[in-house]
Amino acid sequence: MIKTIDDASKQEMTYIIKGFNPSTFIDWAGKLACVIYLPGCNFRCPFCHSSSLVLKPAEIEAIPFVEIKQFLVQNNGWIDGLVVQGGEPTLYEKLPQLLKEIKSLNVQVKLDTNGSAPEVILDLIKADLVDYIAMDIKADLSIERYNKSAGVVVDLNKIKQSISILLSSNIDYEFRTTVVPGFVDADAIGAIAKFIRGAKRYTLQQFSSEDTLDSKMAEVKPYHIDQMRQFSLMAKKFVPNTSVRGAE
């Protein structure tokens, strides 16, 4: 007997989504948002907290998109937007199709990215498929330190292209750096802030040593809050709208 697949089942299989957070005030400042997580990443940052999504995405059960779509429809007017995270979302071939479907529900979209695919970022902006982009800058823009932070050999020109795209675009955006001792210091913060001079927003994120991709990172003690504040003051010379996130 041949089994037919109904429309709902087809839709469930359309996208590979490996996680869903129905509500957060943290991932999109000033908004109540939900978050979806896409699998896979081209970086191997030692301090990454999404090791399963990066290393073993096949072992994570997929969430049917039809359930997420139903949630968005039912909570329209309550949820302000949806955040797309990874892994690295720009690696996902069906990302434009997914975002187009989300936008058709009258839902704003925020994309979190490592900036390694400037052509994808530019296409999404041109197609009006994103409302906000948060791009991580892993280290100062020297190849040796960037490769160390990313855990792989990085095409630094692509990172710089993505930065340039955001700086010259009309879209709302922010740059972010996770301030990890041994990877990012005062000189790095100063160099990054200078490179993105005039950016709309720069966020310095406190490092957490829990559940990192590299277990050795558990031995690294985060910077003290006072030091994080000093980093922020330094960055504000070039990006006035600089803030610290996650430090206590």
pLDDT (tens digit per residue) in 52-104: 888 888 888 999 999 999 999 999 888 889 999 998 999 999 999 999 999 99
Average pLDDT in the chain: 91
Cis peptide bond upstream of 182, omega within 30: no
pLDDT in tens, 196-216: 999 999 999 999 988 889 999
Chain centre distance of CA 148: 19
pLDDT for residue 248:
58
The per-residue pLDDT for range 157-199, each reduced to its tens digit, is: 999 999 999 999 999 999 999 999 999 999 999 999 999 999 9
